[in-house]
Structure 1
Amino acid sequence: MKKEKILSNLEEIKVFTDPFRMKILFALDEAPMTVKQLADMLGEIPSKVHYHVKELERIGVLEIVDKKEKSGIVEKYYYPTAESFRVEKIIMKEEGWQEHIGNLKDTAFRNASEDYRDYLSKKKDDDKEIFNYGVIHLTDEEFDELRKKIEELLEKSDKRKDTKAYTYVMGLFKKYN
């Protein structure tokens, strides 16, 4: 698996930012799965999941990482091709890119909300969490410094034996009164 895949055209962004496809990507966080396993996990019919998996595979976001024969049927196991996905800056000059990035942000917040509700329903006394909402006052230089520190922390993050997965949502944007 690569560290990062760059989405380099508007078609890739359109495919990637579909809310259901984002759910598929989040579901594949821990281990490769078949279309049937994904469908069961997401409570959907396999044909719907298969269509969306094939679209993600077509743009190089998912790949087949294993095949197993079971009762004469070949099961294909899918997994993301990279740990993170980034939009190439040149795309931002193409017409329509903002709508799709907006869809991606909306989907991320919706998925994070669902994850948080799920977490609250299963929360144990010793679970760790950070939840913060507010306004922070920064100079442009402090903003850039904070972004750099967050990016460095995220780059260090990878799956290791002694780590736990945490959902995170971060957004820092100018507040207009």
Structure 2
Amino acid sequence: MSENFSVAVDDNWNFDLHPEDADGLDLIQTEAGRFHLVDGNQSIAVAIRNTDFLAKSYEIEIRGKTYTVRIADALDQQISSMGFRSGSNKDISEIRAPMPGLILDIPTSAGATVMEGDPLVILGAMKMENVISSPREGVIKKICVIKGAAVDKKELLLEFE
């Protein structure tokens, strides 16, 4: 994987950022969240207004205008090239079976509060146990399958509130 980053600004402008591009910036931090940038003969004040490290998204103010900047590293770019979206799992309201199989265990219950990464369903498929983990924090609204049931690919397993 390359060390290049893909940068999207306000979902309008997209460009690649190489490590040497960042090394060449004349940028000095003046205080927390504030920077002084020299571009050619121009002095520019830059302020970071909001950061979301998990989504790799930043709100940056330059000359009184706020821009939303999203940065994709090599892994994010590879995930995107495979047709997936990294970071999109936070809006998931239901879990569906990723493949056909047999429900071996359901280590949660309706009404339970779960954290990201907690096991929700253990699916037996292709002679393997596949732990389907919670993609986000939340409360389980409904469990739609029972232990021992056979499920098809994309069958609804459970719903979040």
TM-score by length of 2: 0.22
Higher strand share: 2
Higher helix share: 1
TM-score by length of 1: 0.21
- Larger RCO, structure (CA 8 Å, separation 6 or more): 1
